[in-house]
Amino acid sequence: MKKEVSGYRLVFGYLGIFIMFEGLVTLVPLFMCFYPGESSCWLDFFLPGMSAFFFGLVLWLSLIAGHPKAHFGKNDDSLLLVLLWLFAFLIGGFPFFLSQFPALNGGEVGYRMSFLESFFEAVSGYTATGLTVFTGFLDSAHSFCPHVFLFHRALMQFVGGIGLVLIVAGAISDRYNLKLYFAEGHSDKLLPNLGRSAKLIFGIYFGYIALGFLSLWLAGMDLFDALCHSIAAIATGGFSTRSVGYLYFQSINGTCYNGVTPVNALAIEIITMVLMVLGATNFVLHTFLLRGRWKAFFKDIEVKIGLVGIVFFTLLTAGSSVYLYTNGSSSGLDFWTAVRYCSFGVISSMTTTGYSNFVSIHAMGNVFLFSSILLMAIGGGVGSTAGGIKQFRVGLLLKDFVYGIRYRFSSRRAINPNPVFRLGKLKEEDPSTADEAHNYAILYLIVFLLGATALAFLPGMGLSDSLFEFMSALSGTGLDSIGLLSFKAASAFSYPWLLSLLCLAMLFGRLEILPIHFALERLSVDSVANVRRKRQMAKEA
């Protein structure tokens, strides 16, 4: 009888399965090579995709295939989780890096992205952030295989937004999928079986993407624009096919460039706002919407936090923008135009998507800048594609604050209820859940302050930009206040450090910090303890 596989062998064996999947994801954009002149870049995707697939296959076959598997040891799941995400970044970044070599691209030179820039683009994609150093947009002067690379970016955001573990769980059934699923930051299952839950979630999200694609196309986008923007909006990622984002569609408003309907920029923005909100909504709450349980949906604590936050900050930032442009500029800004821009920006920030329909975040004023930082910190719903602290945790913090004041001087013998309406049920707040919310919020703010301070040390970074950029990366939003490529031109020394710190922020935010700590503990503390244990056993023998 074969010996049970455990420890590092078990971790790397399962890692092989995920690497195979990540390799296949890298091959999918090759379907876009049917666009004229875009077949020359096929090796940029084929080489890393197939290499990853066969490397993962070797790991799986040589380590765990056909062997009985022991239970994960302490922190093994966190180590596996961090490794599978790091390999996803590495594999996803190679196509950008390889595009610069003429020998692989029919004599053409692609985007000349350094390895760090390529890695950064993949981190931003898989973490569904949207910060970018990419230059090959459809409206750019030099675009090498633009449809292939742009679809690759959108696909990474969809896969990363939903979650690598959830997608693999939909394809294979394994007893460790559920443990990894929870370690990845999810906390709810739609169905008792994780595989069935994954298939249901895919069905819901593919349906939203299809509806968004059709709606954006009817609003004037062409087919490729509509597909990529629908995918990125549902994934709350924020990658666009145009260098200026949604400003591009405002510039061609009324033009019929898809051959069917003229561009309606306002309709495009409204559709995108709906998609962003859907992407940032808890998976379980989608079933309430689809089953017509409207009362249970709108009474949920996360939905209340989201709606109140959107309305309040839209009115606040719109009022401040009107005041700014009326008193500090020669040209005024009417209130409804301000509401249009600010509602889009507020929803983009709170859902941690990162789309924008204005020229610069600084043009909207300091109130909008500060509000965006707060909204990005709050983030979307637990178990959604959005980042941030999450609305449920923020809701618990606010309720504890209110009830703490209300019951401050009540008798110790009095029963002080603290009910929370959550996922269709009104239940008393669980003390352990409240403690987790408090602890995570404090940890999140500590990481934010440390990271923003580190950015502020870089030459060329101001305090407000440091706070905004790090929160944008940590929350997985992708709004950019400095222009990363402009910063590269202005400060070549600081640029690599900036990208490296933002990569760390995106990874910390996507994995919700603690799994990284546990993975490092597994590699260091647990490894040292195992060595000591083996030495002790050898001495006793």
Report which of 268, 370, 273, 345 is spatially closest to residue 281, judged by C-alpha positions. Answer: 273
Please tell me the least confidently modeled range out of 63-72, 177-186, 333-342, 471-480.
177-186
Average per-residue pLDDT in the chain?
A: 87
pLDDT digits (tens, 9 = 90+) for 247-265: 999 999 999 988 899 999 9
What is the predicted pLDDT for the residue at 208?
A: 95
Please state, as a whole number, how many other Cβ atoms lie within 10 Å of the Cβ of residue 161.
Answer: 28
pLDDT digits (tens, 9 = 90+) for 277-301: 999 998 888 888 888 889 989 999 9
16-20, 382-386, 420-424: range with highest mean pLDDT: 16-20
Residue 378 and residue 476 in contact, taking contact as beta carbons nearer than 8 Å: no
What is the predicted pLDDT for the residue at 182?
A: 61
Rounded to the nearest angstrom, the gap between the alpha carbon of residue 100 and the centroid of all alpha carbons in its chain is: 27
Q: How much is the average pLDDT of 494-509?
A: 95
What is the predicted pLDDT for the residue at 411?
A: 62
Q: Does residue 362 surpass a pLDDT of 90?
A: no
Rounded to the nearest angstrom, the gap between the alpha carbon of residue 389 and the centroid of all alpha carbons in its chain is: 13
Helix/strand/coil for 221: coil
419 DSSP β-pair partners: 428
Q: Does residue 189 surpass a pLDDT of 80?
A: no
Percentage of the chain exceeding pLDDT 70: 88
What is the predicted pLDDT for the residue at 230?
A: 97
End-to-end CA distance of the chain: 26
Query: Could you tell me where the beta strands, DSSP code E, fall in 96-154?
Result: none
Q: How much is the average pLDDT of 87-112?
A: 93
Q: Does residue 330 surpass a pLDDT of 50?
A: no
Q: Does residue 418 surpass a pLDDT of 80?
A: no
35-39, 146-150, 531-535: range with highest mean pLDDT: 146-150
pLDDT digits (tens, 9 = 90+) for 470-481: 999 999 999 998
